[in-house]
A and B are shown apart, each in its own frame.
Chain A
Amino acid sequence: MSDAITAAHAFLAVMRRDLSIYLSYRTRLVSQALTSVFSLTLFYYVSRLVHVSGFKSPSSYFGFVVVGISMVGVMYSCFSIPELLRQELVAGTFDRLLLSPFGAVRSLLAMTLFPLLYSFIVAATTLGLGCVIFGLHLHWSTVPLSVPAMALALLAFLPFGLLFAALTVVVKQGSVGTSWVIALLSIVGGLYFPVSLLPDWVQTAAKLQPFTAATSVLRHLLVNSPIAEAAGASLLKLAIFAAVLVPASTFVLATAIRFGQRRGTIVEY
């Protein structure tokens, strides 16, 4: 029990470290807020052009896409983990994590906490700014349910970051493949437009990853967008993704680290 408490404190210490580093760059918060405002402005005026079936009004598309761009931020946070690892390798701090009793795998898992929590806050801020500045209508009766749904979504997304972190341990490049994967997932995840506009085979592919289900259910809960399948089915799908992929990706990450230790390349950067 005391070991579990000590480990929990170590997890929190990693998150506190990341928060301290984040706060040491004083303009980051302002920069992030401006990014959200400009993205909202861009899509607000794009939404004025939308007159297609599936959206009752430009405002309904705006609500659709605001949730989408919030999810893009979450997606970027997941895929920032390999780059964070790369920074640790370059700074030589990864050696410290690896040589600590807490260990590299748990440290890397802990390193996901701050980016994911931060992306959660940024998503909430973006939605808030959308309401205040652009008159976004949130479906307040189901908004509280979006919090546990988002937490489940983050768990389902996390393995993607861990798998790319494992790749980074091996190939020493933080951003290898992440840019095009994010672009691809933005398309098949239906972040900017409905998946129903895509070819049938792409729609099938869209069901094979958790981003589509997560975005769909969060849209339903936040802005009352119509949902193709029952919200419960989407949440179950996310739970299955998380239950299968979190242990699997953790195992792959541990294996990659062990591989680097055997080859001696773990200390290279």
Chain B
Amino acid sequence: MTQRALEAPVHAATRDGAAPTSVVGRQKPEAVDAFPLEMTGVTKRWRKDLPPVLNQLDLALEPGTLTWVGGRNGAGKTTMLRIAAGLIEPEQGRAQVWGVTAQENRVRYQTLVSFLPAGDRGLYARLTVRRQLEFWARISMLPRAQVNGAIDRAIHDFDLDQLVDRRVDRMSMGQRQRLRIAMTFLPGPEIVLLDEPLTSLDAEGADLLLSAVEKVLDRDGVVLWCSPSGESLDLAFDASWIIDRGRLVPA
């Protein structure tokens, strides 16, 4: 793992040090002077008698950056991603995309952010790959004219051509993971949150994932990659952090 930006401002990742000025995406962010993704003072506890899993956590990602967050099992990586994705809410603090929280503008937030949860869930077992992608494209509210193109691109980018008519329950774990990743990138998100994305992937699948990540970074999007330990792939992370006692510390 390459750590290119440990000298970057605390809890912030930047590729070139420039202030974020423009973003390419389906919805042009209104507040371009804000970070693409910023979490400030985020605190979350699961039980009142236990210490918080996240404790005043701060994180800011600048355009075009790839950030890794690690930590032991149960450290709070998935909780952090779920809050960043807008799936759950923090007790304190804010998670915002270009200055706006999911509560303030849910549709805009969910249009810009895409989250790959850990594990192999989130697929309809009885649907074929194409049906699954079609469904996801539709509820991602892609404009009608873009739907077929986005599906074809996802099939091509993740080498799913041979699987398009296969039902998910007849696919291997690695093939399912490839489909889950394809769904994550299908709507063309500006902010991609990946929770243990390499699970079950073969080398070819991992290369396809890295290629998709590069495309997001090339259009000034951001990718937040979480896994328990440093990935063995030659990934050029702009910043690497560990969650320790609910806060981010340099890896």
Contact = CB atoms under 8 A, between A and B. Distances in A.
A135 to B, nearest CB: 39
B126 A20 contact: yes
B122 A101 contact: no
A204 interface: no
Interface in A86-139: 91-93, 95-103, 107
B87 A96 contact: no
Given A17-B135, A261-B87, A262-B89, A101 B140 contact: yes
Residue picked from A13, A101, A107, most chain B C-beta under 10 Å: A101
A91 B139 contact: no
Contact of A102 (B114, B125, B139): B139
Nearest to A90: B121
Given A24-B126, A93-B122, A100 B110 contact: yes
Interface residues of B, number: 38
Given A20-B126, A24-B167, A91-B121, A100 B140 contact: yes
Residue picked from A2, A3, A99, A100, most chain B C-beta under 10 Å: A99
B101 to A, nearest CB: 12
Contact of A5 (B106, B110, B144, B183): B144
Q: How large is the interface on A (under 10, 10 to 19, 20 to 34, 35 or more residues)?
A: 20 to 34
A263 B167 CA distance: 35
Interface of A: 2-3, 5-7, 9-10, 12-14, 16-17, 20-21, 24-25, 91-93, 95-103, 107, 261-262, 264, 266-267
Interface of B: 44, 46, 79, 82, 85-89, 106-107, 110-111, 113-115, 117, 119, 121-127, 131, 134-136, 138-144, 167, 183
27 contacts: A6-B144, A13-B138, A14-B135, A20-B127, A21-B126, A24-B127, A91-B121, A91-B124, A91-B125, A92-B117, A92-B119, A96-B139, A96-B183, A99-B87, A99-B113, A99-B114, A100-B136, A103-B110, A107-B139, A261-B89, A262-B88, A264-B44, A264-B82, A264-B88, A266-B87, A267-B82, A267-B88
